[in-house]
């Protein structure tokens, strides 16, 4: 063993302690969103702040930084190199960004969230504008600390999508615009009447259905649990304990059902990471885009697809009772292209146009091509071009999303990357898994899950997103599979 | 402000960080016992170990120890002195006990628990004996590190009951023996037929009852929650987040009902500590004995007493339905003196004899008056004297309790101290609260809770147990109030 290798081993051990402590934060966050009594808020905030302090101190300790510097990556094997890349990323970031700036961002985010909620309620963008300006200023400083080549937005995107080039992401998203606008337009012109799934569905029955479907998809309840949360999320980080949450709308079971499936997609990824990687540098998801590809693949390609939805329809009928609704109507209802003002309520076709809107605007802000004071108008103008409507008010327009209030610039494009990657992966899986459609009709997802486990999940973050996709699909991720998939699926549904 | 005062303030801040981090451990433990999926065990253990490591490093950091040394307590006011006493206790202990010994004890405890469970199942004390010997050896070393005057058992007792003298505790417990044996004997000779509460009670209804009763007792669900656990416990440490657990036996609702009330007693204490003391040296319970006095007072003096039990009876009837059972039979059933082999299933009269047995034996072991090899025989012999029977097997005899397998010597006497303190406190409260009995008949506990809040809860650990009791009752805690209470109550029930 060379000196570099020995130091590397010792670093992995040090980092293991940091990862184990960091994961405590996940448990505390999950608890806060699902279990914590309301009066626990202030002490929980103090606990999280102390934990963050401990982690920052550990990540910036001179001994650790010295070890990182003294490893010569050339002496490591490819897997060790990948691990070292992740260690450096983690330690570098802690070194480069001063704790005082992080605190300021956290403080502004907390204020930002309150102000955003108020401005949204009062439908007044100008209330939010000054807080947004300050947050943008702080995040510019943050980007500067991290460093970038041409645009501060590169540094922000890299936080969520490490290893992806801004220009590549911009091309991918840009390639979607014209075909998706065209597809949405053609669907709209068909004027097809809506099918409603509205009804009266007991919460117990909806949760039972959610559980049945989760288990069928391969989610292991021995390594997780399902609870209620206002905004569904997945809490994970170790394959033995990955918890999902959902919500129940008594009038619309689709919300609980598809929120659950989405989170199950995330959870299957976390549960599928090789357990020997737990608390090691590679034992985590690649990126938000790859994470989202897993949730989207299960939610859309599988559970809103023409095959597995037949199995779901039967379960809905058994558990909830669908009355006179035939499968065809059910299938149309779960795939309705509606042209919603709201991103989170939009369909597979227009969703990515919502994302393109946000991506363009936030990038323009950080590249100083758009003054945040003009954001509302810019939003409305571009909304009209991309989606065909001006939002009637800011609560369903520029103030609809929470992200910017918390300083999460660079996050939005990962949603569309998720859709792009999901289409790429599903196209490959269809080639590799024999009779996938027939299996899905019968609710059998074992081989598909096995394929994802083998190709994506188990590796943790050994490969970065572009490399992972290249290895699996044999080419650089492109918009084509997503466009083909959407064109094919919705042509059939809408008889285009 | 003097230098000592300034250093003291800075110490309080440092310790606040430690307390906030330490409380994260409570959340993780609660989660483990109530929510965590089974496959989360190993990563949770790693998280707890890392957290323990961080806490140990913080408590033994040279800067902190220097600060502690440089404070001259003479310059502090009485409240600051009390806080300084707790800081010293915490920091001293971390200094005195080597981390390696703590690790060895934790390892032996884990093995001990497994071996105890096996030995208990196979009804074979000799299987457990070697592990017990090793644990006793480790705990002797531990006691040596902490220091003591005459007996290593002093140091072990002091962990759970700081400020109480071993001789005082021994006298208190000793004073109970003859009168309780006599009372139990007289009850037994009455040969009163048993009243059964056995039936078939839905879990939902039992939990609803538990919730109704908890709320009536003043437990704030805005600062807590009620969940299921195999062994009910209370998780707290900050008044805004104190969680209780209970269990359900479908055949016997008494288990859920009185377990819940017991835990509510603990929780009311934690919820009642002055919130301004949170994460400060005084913001904690005084001792296990005082903690137990709160659970026992609500469970026994109040909820098994002749007044509040009338209110409980009505609620049981409403929520569960008690069929033909009249109140008198219900009251007798919840106060049956049965002479159980099992401590946790025993009644108010014989419970303390069970404790005396354990206290005498563990003290004798640490004072080398009893060879652990002879523990089974010693247990059986003394059991016969104190309780009137030899256990038919070790699972209901010397191996019935989990405590020794984990090295928790010195813990048992705090249960009886709890009963002694509860009787002392209730006697005082009866004098101070007008018409307490009449209020309890109507389910009105507000004034009693207010009295406990004012006299006990709010102070946190400003006073140690003997001083706290002295201040409230005007005398050193004695066995008399408990004996008077039991004699009076059970004379009436059994017509002695």
Specify the DSSP element, H or E, that contains A408.
Answer: none
* Average pLDDT along chain A: 96
pTM summary value: 0.94
pLDDT digits (tens, 9 = 90+) for A83-97: 999 999 999 999 999
Provide the pLDDT confidence category of residue B236 given band limits of 50, 70 and 90: confident
**Cα(B57)–Cα(A21) distance, integer angstroms:** 14
Q: Which of B161, B263, B376, B424 is catalytic?
A: B263
By Cβ distance, the residue of B17, B44, B239 closest to A50 is B17
Question: CA quadruple B424, B429, B435, B437: dihedral positive or negative?
Answer: negative
Model confidence band, residue A233 (pLDDT cutoffs 50, 70, 90):
very high
Q: Quick one: pLDDT at residue B454?
A: 98
Residue B414 has which token pair?
Answer: 């705090």
pLDDT digits (tens, 9 = 90+) for B190-212: 999 988 888 999 999 999 999 99
pLDDT tens column, A189-218: 999 998 888 899 999 999 999 999 999 999
Distances in whole angstroms, Cα of residue A279 to Cα of each of A276, A328, A441, A444, B27: 9, 47, 38, 32, 21
Say which residue, A404 or B1, is predicted with more confidence: A404
Q: Does B95 touch chain A (CB under 8 A)?
A: no
Identify the three-state secondary structure at position B244: strand
Cα separation, B325 vs A374, in Å, equals 75
Eight-class DSSP state of A299: I
Chain B partners of A37 at a C-beta cutoff of 8 Å? Answer: 221-225, 240-241, 243
**Number of residues in chain B:** 496
Of B21, B28, B240, the CB nearest to A54: B21
Cα distance between residue A136 and residue A405, in whole Å = 10
Active site residues of A: 263
Quote the mean pLDDT of chain B.
96
| B335-340: average pLDDT | 89
Check if A145 contacts B (Cβ < 8 Å).
no
Instruction: Report residue B265 CA to chain centroid gap.
Output: 11
B50 contact A CB<8A? yes
d(CA B355, CA B169): 12
CB A210 within 8 A of CB A256: yes
The nearest alpha carbon in chain B to A22 belongs to: B47
Q: Compute chain A's Rg from CA coordinates.
A: 23
Separation between Cα atoms, residue A188 and residue A391, nearest integer Å = 18
In 3D space, the residue among A367, A73, A425, A43 whose CA is nearest the CA of residue B278 turns out to be: A43
CA distance A449 to A444: 10
pLDDT interval class at B470 (50, 70, 90): very high
Mean pLDDT across B301-315: 98
Q: Does the CB of A23 have a partner CB in chain B at under 8 Å?
A: yes
Nearest Cα neighbor of B409 from B456, B381, B370, B464 is B370
B31 to A27: CB separation less than 8 angstroms, yes or no:
yes
CA distances in angstroms from A328 to A190, A444, A486, B431, listed in the order given: 18, 21, 18, 76
B17–A53 C-beta distance less than 8 A: yes
Candidates B22, B33, B38, B40: best to mutate against A (most CBs of A within 10 A) is B40
User: Once rounded to an integer, what is the mean pLDDT over residues A361-366?
Assistant: 98
Four-residue CA torsion sign, B36, B41, B42, B46: positive
The gap from C-alpha B253 to its chain's centroid, in whole angstroms, comes to 22
Residue range A114-143: mean pLDDT, rounded: 97
What is the percent of chain A where pLDDT is above 90? 95
Q: Is the distance from CB of A161 to CB of A412 less than 8 angstroms? A: no
- Chain-centroid distance, C-alpha A111: 24
Nearest to A213 by CA among A329, A304, A139: A304
Q: Do A413 and A157 meet the contact criterion of CB atoms below 8 Å apart?
A: yes
Contacts of A74 (CB under 8 A, 6+ apart): none
Residue B392 contacts A, CB cutoff 8 Å: no
Q: Is there a contact between B422 and B301 (Cβ–Cβ < 8 Å)? A: yes
Closest CA to B289 of B168, B454, B113: B168
B20 in contact with chain A, both atoms CB, cutoff 8 A: yes
**For the segment A251-293, what is each residue's pLDDT rounded down to a tens digit?**
999 999 999 999 999 999 999 999 999 999 999 999 999 999 9
Q: Can you list the alpha helix ranges (DSSP code H) found in A217-301?
A: 253-272, 288-296
pLDDT tens digits, one per residue of B239-287: 999 999 999 999 999 999 999 999 999 999 999 999 999 999 999 999 9
**Minimum distance, in Å, between the CA of residue A27 and any CA atom of chain B:** 8
**Does A316 score more than 80 pLDDT?**
yes
Q: Give the pLDDT band of residue B377 (cuts 50, 70, 90).
A: very high
pLDDT band at A359 (very low <50, low <70, confident <90, very high): very high
- Give the CA radius of gyration of chain B: 23
Contacts of A31 in chain B (CB under 8 A): 27, 31
Cross-strand partners of A244: A226, A234
DSSP labels, B126-156: HHHHHHHHHHHHHHHHHHHHH--SS-HHHHH
**Is the pLDDT confidence value at A309 over 90?**
yes
> How close is the nearest chain B Cα to the Cα of A60, in Å?
15
| Relative orientation angle of helices B125-146 and B375-387, to the nearest 10 degrees | 90
Residue from A15, A17, A37, A223 whose CB has the most chain B CBs within 10 Å, to mutate: A37
Burial of A196 (0-12, 13-18, 19+ CB in 10 A): exposed
Residue B282: closest CA among B83, B85, B13: B83
**Cα torsion B36, B38, B41, B47: sign:** negative
A495 and chain B in contact, CB less than 8 A: no
Secondary structure of residue B238 in the 3-state scheme = strand
What distance in Å separates the CA atoms of residue B351 and residue B363, rounded to the nearest whole number?
A: 19
Report the phi/psi class of residue B63: left, alpha or beta, with left for phi > 0 and alpha for psi in -120 to 50: alpha
Terminal CA-to-CA distance of chain A, rounded, Å?
A: 64
Sign of CA dihedral B469, B475, B479, B483: negative
The SS3 call for residue A244 is strand
Considering only the beta carbons, identify the residue of A28, A40, A222 that sits closest to B39. A222
State ipTM.
0.93
**Residue keyed to tokens 């065909």:** A388
Searching chain B, which residue's CA lies closest to the CA of residue A57? B54
Active site residue B263: yes
**Is A40 close to B238, i.e. CB distance below 8 A?**
yes
Chain A hits for B241, CB-CB cut-off 8 Å, are: 36-37, 39-40, 43-44
- Would you say residue A339 has pLDDT above 80? no
Contact assignment for B222 to A39 by CB distance below 8 Å: yes
Q: Is B23 on the interface with A (CB under 8 A)?
A: yes
Q: Does A223 touch chain B (CB under 8 A)?
A: yes
Mean pLDDT of A311-318: 97
What is the pLDDT at residue A464?
Answer: 97
Write the CB contacts of B63 (distance below 8 Å, at least 6 apart in sequence). none
Name the residue among A46, A50, A278 with its Cβ closest to that of B43: A278
Whether residue B150 lies within 8 A of chain A, CB to CB, comes out as no
Pairing, β A226-228 against β A241-246: parallel
Query: What is each CA distance from B167 to A303, B423, B483, in whole angstroms?
Result: 71, 20, 20
Q: Tell me which residue in A27, A37, A238 faces B28 most closely, judged by beta carbons.
A: A27
Find chain B residues with C-beta within 8 A of A279's C-beta: 43, 46
First to last CA, chain B: 64
Q: In sequence order, what are the residues at sequence separation of 6 or more whose Cβ sits closer than 8 angstroms to the Cβ of residue A268?
A: A217, A218, A219, A294, A298, A449, A452, A457
The pLDDT value given to residue B338: 81
* Chain-centre distance for alpha carbon A244: 14
Tell which of A26, A41, A54, A279 to mutate to test the B interface (max B CBs under 10 Å).
Answer: A54
Long-range contacts for A111-115 (Cβ within 8 Å, ≥24 apart)?
A112/A404, A112/A405, A112/A406, A112/A407, A113/A402, A113/A405, A113/A406, A115/A405
What confidence score (pLDDT) does residue B330 get? 96
Q: Is the CB of residue B242 less than 8 Å from the CB of residue B287? A: no
CA-based nearest residue to B239, from B281, B266, B212, B275: B275
pLDDT in tens, B424-467: 999 999 999 999 999 999 999 999 999 999 999 999 999 999 99
Which among B137, B75, B312, B112 has a CA at the least distance from the CA of B209? B312
Mean pLDDT of A48-62: 95
pLDDT, tens only, A161-184? 999 999 999 999 999 999 999 999
Q: Do A37 and B278 touch (CB under 8 A)?
A: no
The answer to whether the CB atoms of B27 and A27 lie below 8 A apart is yes
Residue of B nearest to A53 (CA): B17
Alpha helices in A405-478 (DSSP H): 413-432, 436-441, 446-455, 465-473
Instruction: Tell if the CB–CB gap between A222 and B51 is shorter than 8 Å.
Output: no
Check the CA dihedral B49-B50-B51-B55 and report its sign. Answer: positive
Q: What is the pLDDT of residue A18?
A: 97
pLDDT exceeds 90 at position A408:
yes
Q: With pLDDT > 70 as the criterion, what percentage of chain B qualifies?
A: 100
Q: Return the structure tokens found at A370.
A: 């758009």
Residue A37 is nearest to which of B31, B47, B225, comparing CB atoms? B225
Q: Record the tokens describing residue B240, joined without a space.
A: 């805004």
- For residue B53, the surrounding DSSP H or E stretch is helix B41-59
Q: Is the pLDDT of residue A236 over 90?
A: no
Q: pLDDT for B27-45, tens place per residue?
A: 999 999 999 999 999 899 9
Specify whether the CB–CB gap between B473 and B169 falls below 8 A. no
pLDDT reading at A237 higher than 80: no
């Amino acid at each position: 063993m060379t000196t570099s290798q020995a130091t590397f081993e010792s670093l992995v051990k040090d980092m293991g302690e940091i990862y184990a402590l960091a994961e405590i934060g996940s448990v505390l966050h999950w608890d806060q969103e699902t279990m914590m009594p309301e009066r626990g808020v202030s002490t929980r905030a103090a606990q999280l702040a102390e934990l963050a302090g401990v982690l920052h101190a550990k990540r910036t300790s001179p001994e650790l930084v010295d070890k990182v510097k003294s490893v010569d990556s050339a002496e490591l094997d490819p897997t060790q190199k990948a691990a070292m890349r992740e260690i450096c990323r983690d330690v570098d970031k802690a070194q480069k960004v001063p704790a005082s700036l992080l605190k300021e961002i956290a403080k502004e985010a907390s204020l930002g969230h309150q102000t955003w909620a108020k401005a949204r309620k009062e439908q007044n963008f100008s209330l939010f504008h000054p807080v947004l300006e300050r947050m943008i200023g702080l995040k510019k400083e943050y980007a500067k600390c991290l460093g970038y080549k041409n645009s501060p937005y590169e540094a922000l995107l890299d936080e969520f999508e490490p290893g992806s080039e801004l220009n590549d992401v911009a091309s991918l998203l840009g390639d979607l615009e014209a075909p998706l606008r065209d597809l949405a337009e053609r669907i709209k012109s068909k004027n097809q009447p809506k099918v409603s799934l509205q009804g009266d569905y007991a919460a117990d029955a909806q949760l039972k259905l959610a559980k049945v479907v989760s288990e069928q998809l391969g989610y292991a309840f021995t390594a997780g649990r399902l609870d209620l949360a206002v905004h569904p999320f997945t809490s994970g980080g170790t394959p033995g304990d990955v918890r999902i949450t959902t919500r129940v709308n008594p009038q619309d079971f689709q919300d609980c059902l598809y929120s659950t499936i989405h989170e199950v997609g995330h959870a299957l990824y976390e549960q599928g990471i090789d357990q020997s990687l737990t608390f090691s540098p590679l034992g985590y998801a690649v990126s938000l885009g790859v994470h989202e590809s897993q949730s989207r693949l299960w939610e859309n390609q599988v559970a809103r697809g023409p095959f597995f939805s037949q199995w779901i329809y039967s379960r809905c009928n058994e558990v909830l009772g669908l009355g006179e609704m035939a499968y065809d109507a059910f299938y149309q209802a779960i795939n309705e292209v509606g042209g919603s003002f709201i991103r989170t309520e939009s369909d597979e076709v227009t969703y990515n146009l919502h994302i393109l809107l946000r991506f363009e605007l936030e990038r323009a802000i950080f590249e100083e091509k758009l003054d945040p004071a003009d954001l509302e108008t810019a939003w409305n103008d571009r909304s009209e071009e991309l989606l065909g409507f001006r939002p009637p008010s800011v609560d369903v327009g520029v103030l609809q999303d929470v992200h910017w209030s918390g300083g999460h610039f660079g996050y939005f494009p990962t949603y569309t990357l998720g859709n792009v990657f999901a289409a790429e992966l599903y196209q490959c899986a269809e080639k590799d898994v024999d009779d996938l459609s027939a299996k899905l009709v019968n609710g059998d997802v074992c081989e598909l899950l096995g394929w994802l486990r083998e190709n994506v999940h188990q590796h943790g973050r050994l490969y970065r997103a572009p490399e992972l996709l290249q290895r699996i699909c044999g080419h650089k991720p492109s918009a084509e599979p997503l466009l083909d998939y959407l064109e094919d699926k919705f042509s059939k549904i809408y008889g285009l």
